[in-house]
Amino acid sequence: MIKTYSRRLLLPFVGVVQIADMGPARALSMDGNYWSIQYKLPVDPRQQPQGQRAHPGSSYTRIVGYNYAAIATIRGGRLEQHPLHPALDPDEVRSAGNRLLEAVNAARLPFEPTDHYEYWLLDAQDETPLALLYTSDDEETMALTPPLPEWHPMPAAELKVQPPEAPQTTYVPPVNHRLEGLVAERAGRKPRAVWFERKEPSGDNFPACLIREDWREEQHQLLCDLYIRRLAPRLLMIHGLSRPVRHRLEQAAREHVFDVERFHPLYPEVVDHRLLTAARVEARMRRANT
């Protein structure tokens, strides 16, 4: 049996990964077009690191007692085999790859999320959720040694955010880096983070865009707004957004047509179809003219 589900990929948040899991093998995708197929490799328990902090996000590359080896990719509905790891059985790998290919090609995207356990950095002033650090689909994760209570944005090299200032003659840190400092300052000198279970996220008061958007100083508010607007095409992959929030993000995402084109298959809902269709058409036209 192949189980299909999705999870937010943190930290930093880069999107929502789709997973088709059949036990020994799984297929993962960030855009619904390109899939990485991985197969479990047994690992000598003596080689497992001891005493490390729990890292929920690491579950995409490692689970207890196993590593995963990439065995194939699916691109545009076609399977491309990779060189086989010597510890794997060729017939088993081939069978698993074909089953996952069939499941992925027949799948209706996006998959339902299962990561209902969330690890939030708290605001030092009122101890309310400030920024999402990790998620998990396993309740037992909450009993492990928690990850460090530190929030990180996507680095500027991967997500370029247009700064609010005109070009400067001296170095000015990227918006991403400046926002990271603001979040750390707001979390206080002794930052704390707490696990929450949220199976119905649309009806509560947690930050919809995974970070608090209410900042007292105008410049701080602007930096947060700029980062979220640039992240909008990826945030639209999140399930449970209210329609007003989703519409706001769609309007911001319209400025980044290639990202909308890539991630659109994984949007669980669209408020303004005309707006996003226009973005995808523009992406195709711009690509054809280059």
Long-range Cβ contact pairs of 199-205 (< 8 A, separation 24 or more):
199/116, 200/240, 201/239, 201/240, 202/240, 202/241, 202/242, 205/128
Rounded distance, CA 26 to CA 99, Å? Answer: 10
Dump pLDDT digits (tens) for 223-239: 999 999 999 999 999 99
Rounded distance, CA 117 to CA 195, Å? Answer: 7
Rounded distance, CA 252 to CA 227, Å? Answer: 11
Dump pLDDT digits (tens) for 166-221: 777 778 889 999 999 999 999 999 999 999 998 776 656 899 999 999 999 999 99
Dump pLDDT digits (tens) for 122-136: 999 999 999 999 999
Rounded to 5°, angle at Cα 151 from 137 and 170: 150
Q: Percent of the chain scored above 90 by pLDDT?
A: 67
The per-residue pLDDT for 203 is 58
Q: Are 207 and 227 in contact (CB under 8 A)?
A: no
Rounded distance, CA 115 to CA 238, Å? Answer: 11
Dump pLDDT digits (tens) for 266-278: 999 999 999 999 9
- The rounded mean pLDDT for the chain is 88
